[in-house]
Structure 1
Amino acid sequence: MSDSFRFRRFVRAASAAAILLLGGAGHGFAQSAVATGGSGPVVSIEASGGEIAEAAASVTVTGRARAIRAAGALLDVQADVERDLQVAGAEVSVAGSVGGKLQAAGAIIDVTGRAGGDVNLAGAVVNASIVTAGDMRAIGARVTIAPGTEVAGDLWAGGALVSVAGHVAGDAEISASVLTLSGRIDGTVTVAADRIVVAPGAVLGGDLVFQSDREPEIRPGAQVAGAVRADEPKTWGGLPGWATHLLVALFIAGAILVAGIVLYLLARGAVQDGAAAVGRRPLASAALGVLAAVAIPVLALLLMMTGLGAPVGFALLLVLPFVLLAGLAVAAMGLAGWRRSDGPPGFGRTLLMLLLGGVVLGLVWVVPVVGGWLVLVAVLVGTGAFLNGALGRLRRPAII
């Protein structure tokens, strides 16, 4: 039996198992979608006071509604909502007033207007310019709390790039790679970030408590009424920071070893092709890895919103972590220097390369500041290389 045939059988079996395992949940979602009245790929609703629950490729809601629950690849809500608003999609835009909680999730989130309750936002890019009587939670790769934002309660925010230019009446807890504060925060600001910038015009009414290797950059014209003080990083289980990093490094090496052994048994040829591609085509592999990491969740979301495609969408979400883990193992083998010209490695040699690559990536992880980013790059390169090898195997004619 050839590697190509073995890999095809593995893909078909894994896909079927995932769909069967998640079929019950997918069926429930499909029933929900039918019950809420999904009527086509493009839906436009003029609300007149009732509750709205809708899922389609593109959803637009205007008017007045008691409550709204909606999902769509393109989602635009320009309505006044008496109670709660819950929306999810690839691109989400909300403008209007919400009497209760506002919850939005997607790739791109743009929220304006007013909310009577808490505001919870999660996406790749999050832009908020809203007045809320409750708390705000926002997480994403880039989070912008724009001027004009008024948060009556507390703010929790996290992301790679976080900017707070609005007003927070309570406390703020923020985790970021780079944080820029240019608004007004009345309470205590607690920050964990690589770089903290308190821009001209910023007003902090309480203490600025930070966890960072660098002192906050407090620019001329910024005001901090309380103390500026460093806080010791919180540790896991009471362990010192170096021990925590070491445990994570050992976990990474162990995960690489286990994943590599499983892949060697189930998809040996694809792994070998992928490991060779890590050294030969790293940029192309990274591009394919980024595309997969972004496209698979979006495609899964779109499939789940169709109702009938929900089982496949759930299966894709289930498969994604395993694909990324496979990418980590392939990256480790590539770093260990395996080349196609070396010939197919046996189990012992594969084990040695996985151990060597796992140790290298584990050591990279403990490098301050950049270590985590470098491991992420390795995962993306390895994922793209693995997918390239897998697709190449699927395209080859099977020889039994």
Structure 2
Amino acid sequence: MTQVTHRELLPGVRLTAVQTNKFKSNLLSVTLMAPLDAKTASANALLPYVLRRGTREHPDMESLSAALDELYGGSIEPAVRKKGEAQGIGFVGSFLDDAYALDDAHILEQAASLMGEVLLRPATENGGFKKEYVEGERSNLVDRIQAQVNEKRSYSLLRLTQEMCAGEPYGVDRLGDEKSAAAITAEGLWERYQALLAHAPVELYYCGSADADRVAAALTAALDGLPRAGELEEPDHSVQDNATQDQPRLVTESLDVTQGKLALGFRTGGACVWEEDYPALLVFNALYGGTPTSKLFLNVREKLSLCYFASSMLEKFKGVMVVSSGIEFGNYEKAKAEILAQLDNCRTGAFEDWELEGARRAVVSALRATMDAQGRLEDYWMGQAVAGLEESPQDLVDRVEAVTREQVVAVAKKMELDTIYFLKGKED
């Protein structure tokens, strides 16, 4: 039996506790939520990596790792996430569930305390972060940003997002940009850290066998001393219903590649996680391009061989759907036309009952798999917390099961092509 509870522990500090005996480990996370902003994204992204380098009590990674080893080999890892127009920065920890520990050890309290220590009591020098730690992790962050171009499929989606949502917070990458990252100083990062502690909403998550009251007590004690000053800066989520221009915008880029990447960005007409038609949106996406039995995969890739890969993905907090495909340079027009033709088939209801049912089963299967994987379950509930929703995966499954053909067609008709990004090879 799984029981989910939500409560506010401190001002702006919310806990989602999932009590279950399904897992042998506990998953514990703390996430500071900030509005996604080009001015602060890189500093925010750097912060958890610097904090993870050492604390006041465990001033380096060696001593911190030793403390984790004492907790039956627990882990605390930095996490930087983008949920719509919110940036989540913090830590995800995994620890042995007390039920499996020796000598009735209370691992939960020790794990929560160590998580609070990493967040609130960093190793410092001269009243701020250690410059050595900041400079080392800053270099790593710049490397990660630069390395994004190496994976061309994800790079094409990054560039599509930047172009399609230029001027919107969603156009900012979760890691920020190279120039901003390279300019971060220890002093500036310390100021950003203090601002986040004072003003950022904090989302806490626990999944394990402990009851919610015990979890709440452990985390409240762990976060004792969290400074709060003035109003919280709650991230604002805006959904752009329709394309921003009368005609789709084409952005072309040339790099030294042998395979073209064609990415199409659609506005969903307002369909998103907050709307009644969200379950239909999920089924439509699975039918169109979200599964190996989708229109894009079976027709554009398999039947017509116009793409090496072709799939669609949703950003449920932003009302955006993107299609990602790999093509021969010369197949640009044919591939684009067929990708749009398959969307038209969804709009006119030109799909078989087995296709619809296959899409539905794929969505239901993915949601049920989420319930069986602690990391995915944490990410699901983190997203729900960001959205201000409390619908469980099972409740969403029930709604998906009730989606009709007519509802899928109605959602498909809302899709509006906004931006096309084409990555091609360098011309001779």
TM-score (norm. length: structure 1): 0.27
Specify which structure has the bigger relative contact order, considering alpha-carbon pairs within 8 angstroms and separated by 6 or more residues: 2
Higher strand share goes to which structure? Answer: 1
Rg: which structure is higher? Answer: 1
TM-score (norm. length: structure 2): 0.26
